[in-house]
């Protein structure tokens, strides 16, 4: 098992290629189950989660081939409609094969996903959406067993609260349903729009993505297509915050301000400059200290929960006091004790954290507790005095492609070292 050794204090200069969004790539890969023709996906990151989902798709009979950053999913025949526990438990996004299998084969048996370190994430909204479309759903020894003997039917589905996963799941299932499906209080994240673009390229009829009401008119079948996965806004925001922590200038290839939502204005308020240019986003910060700025996580276009830990690391080195309120997931302050090992002054009460900024943290051995927390510790380490050693890198490898290579290329002193 590897660790990441970081010597802090170096500004970052150069160009960083932003990979395709992990959260989008996983869903468009699953969409490949909706057609018996090849789905060619470009800019798919090479991540542990992508490899795990590849194993599940192959279990269902799909061939999955990679050439560079291009992935081809071809589910000519569905060999199995069962998604086994041993695969699904390792990654929550695996559960989303349920809707496409049900839509195409009219039956599916999918293990409930395992627990999540950042809090409970139930699947009841997913199941209620499928039931609204006529599916018969029952639980059997830890598996969801769903049947739609006559196929799924269009329905009006109003989500009681915004859920990205349930919105994506219902969208995919509705593409092959008989009639019109209307999703109310739908999620508005860029990954929703990216999935809609992919499904449309496959022949689906979808309208309203990016708003709170999405309409899908079912079609008899979908066909193959080529789709480029949208740039990863979380990777983009993380590198921007790294610039905020240490100073310098990075050009983030494929980056776009629109993908950041409220994070754009928050970072500008904290003292960074973000400018969209041809082919990407330029992020700069020279001289002046970062300003303490308060945030609250919210569904898009609000400040994303997946940038909360990274922003806390930035605020730990800011000038002034900031408050960070987490409204999406419980248990998402597990990185706080690790940042405090590096000298951060953070006080947590419930779902709010007060961060009293310091000009410099000190390197220390720290341990990642989840994917985004790992990036938080790396941002802190890039600015800290001395050496920081981040362990449990398997969390990082789930969501950041070649991070150590990318950081070295722009001047950081980082190196993967084996666990002692």
Residue 11: band (very low, low, confident or very high) from pLDDT cuts 50, 70, 90:
very high
- The pLDDT of residue 330 is 73
CA atoms of 297 and 304, how far apart (whole Å): 5
Q: Is 51 helix (H, G, I), strand (E, B) or coil?
A: helix
Fold of 22-228: UDP-n-acetylglucosamine1-carboxyvinyl-transferase; Chain (3.65.10)
* Cα distance between residue 103 and residue 23, in whole Å: 22
| Average pLDDT of the residues in 344-363 | 94
- Domain residue spans of the chain: 2-19+231-418, 22-228
Of 136-140, 285-289, 314-318, 324-328, the one with minimum mean pLDDT is: 285-289
Q: Is 2 annotated as a binding residue?
A: no
Task: Give pLDDT tens digits for 247-271.
Answer: 999 999 999 999 999 999 999 999 9
Q: What percent of the chain has pLDDT over 90?
A: 86
123 is in an annotated binding site: yes
Instruction: Find out whether 404 is annotated in a ligand binding site.
Output: no
Cα torsion angle, 315, 401, 381, 334, sign: positive
Whole-angstrom distance, CA of residue 90 vs CA of residue 99: 19
CA 303 to chain centre: 14
Q: Is the pLDDT of residue 320 over 80?
A: yes
| Residue range 111-140, pLDDT digits in tens | 988 644 434 447 889 999 999 999 999 988
Does 348 appear as a known binding residue? no
Question: Which of 111, 120, 123 is CA-nearest to residue 87?
Answer: 111
Considering the chain, what percentage of its residues have pLDDT values greater than 70? 98
Q: What is the largest CA-CA distance in the chain?
A: 65
Q: Residue 418 — pLDDT band, cuts 50, 70, 90?
A: confident
Known catalytic residues are 116
- For residue 115, the model assigns a pLDDT of 44
> For the residues 386-411, what does the mean pLDDT come to?
94
Q: How far apart, in whole angstroms, are the C-alpha atoms of residue 72 and residue 77?
A: 15
User: In DSSP terms, which residues pair with 12 in a beta bridge?
Assistant: 248
What superfamily would CATH give domain 2-19+231-418? Enolpyruvate transferase domain (3.65.10.10)
Cα dihedral 264, 266, 268, 272 sign: negative
DSSP string computed for 208-273: -TTSSEEEEE--S----EEEEPPB-HHHHHHHHHHHHHH-EEEEEET--GGGGTHHHHHHHHHT-E
Domains 2-19+231-418 and 22-228 share a fold: yes
286 band by pLDDT with thresholds 50, 70 and 90? confident
Average pLDDT rounded to a whole number, residues 301-330: 94
């Amino acid at each position: 098992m590897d660790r990441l050794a970081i010597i802090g204090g170096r500004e970052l200069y150069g160009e960083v290629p932003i990979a395709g969004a992990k959260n989008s790539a996983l869903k468009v890969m699953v969409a490949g189950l909706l057609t018996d023709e090849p789905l060619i996906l470009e800019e798919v990151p090479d991540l542990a989660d992508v490899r795990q989902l590849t194993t599940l798709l192959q279990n269902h009979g799909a061939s999955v081939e990679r050439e560079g950053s291009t992935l081809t999913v071809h589910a000519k025949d569905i060999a199995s409609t069962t998604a086994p526990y041993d695969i699904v438990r390792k990654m929550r996004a695996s559960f989303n094969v349920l809707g496409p299998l049900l839509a195409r084969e009219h039956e599916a048996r999918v293990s409930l996903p395992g627990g999540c370190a950042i809090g409970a994430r139930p699947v009841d909204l997913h199941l209620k959406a499928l039931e609204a479309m006529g599916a018969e759903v029952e639980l059997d020894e830890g598996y969801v067993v769903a049947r739609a003997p006559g196929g799924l039917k269009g329905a009006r589905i109003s989500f009681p609260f915004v859920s990205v996963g349930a919105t994506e799941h219902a969208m995919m299932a509705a593409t092959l349903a008989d009639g019109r499906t209307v999703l109310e209080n739908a999620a508005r994240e860029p990954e929703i729009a990216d999935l809609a673009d992919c499904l449309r390229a496959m022949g689906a009829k979808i309208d309203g993505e990016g708003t709170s009401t999405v309409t899908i008119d079912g079609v008899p079948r979908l066909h193959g297509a080529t789709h480029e996965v949208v740039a990863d806004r979380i990777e983009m925001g993380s590198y921007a915050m790294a610039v905020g922590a240490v100073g310098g200038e990075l050009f983030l290839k494929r980056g776009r301000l629109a993908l950041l939502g409220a994070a754009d204005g928050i970072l500008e308020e904290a003292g960074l400059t973000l400018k969209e240019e041809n082919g990407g986003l330029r992020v700069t910060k020279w001289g002046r200290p970062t300003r303490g700025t308060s945030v609250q996580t919210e569904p898009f276009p609000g400040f994303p929960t997946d940038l909360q830990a990274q922003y806390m690391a930035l605020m730990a080195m800011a000038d002034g006091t900031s408050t960070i309120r987490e409204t999406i997931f419980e248990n998402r302050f597990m990185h706080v004790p690790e940042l405090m090992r590096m000298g951060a002054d953070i006080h947590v009460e419930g779902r709010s954290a007060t961060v009293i900024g310091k000009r410099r943290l000190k390197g220390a051995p720290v341990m990642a507790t989840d994917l985004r927390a790992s990036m938080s510790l790396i941002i802190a380490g890039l600015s800290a005095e001395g050496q920081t050693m981040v362990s449990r890198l398997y969390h990082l490898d789930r969501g950041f492609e070649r991070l150590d290579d990318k950081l070295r290329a722009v001047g950081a002193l980082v190196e993967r070292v084996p666990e002692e």
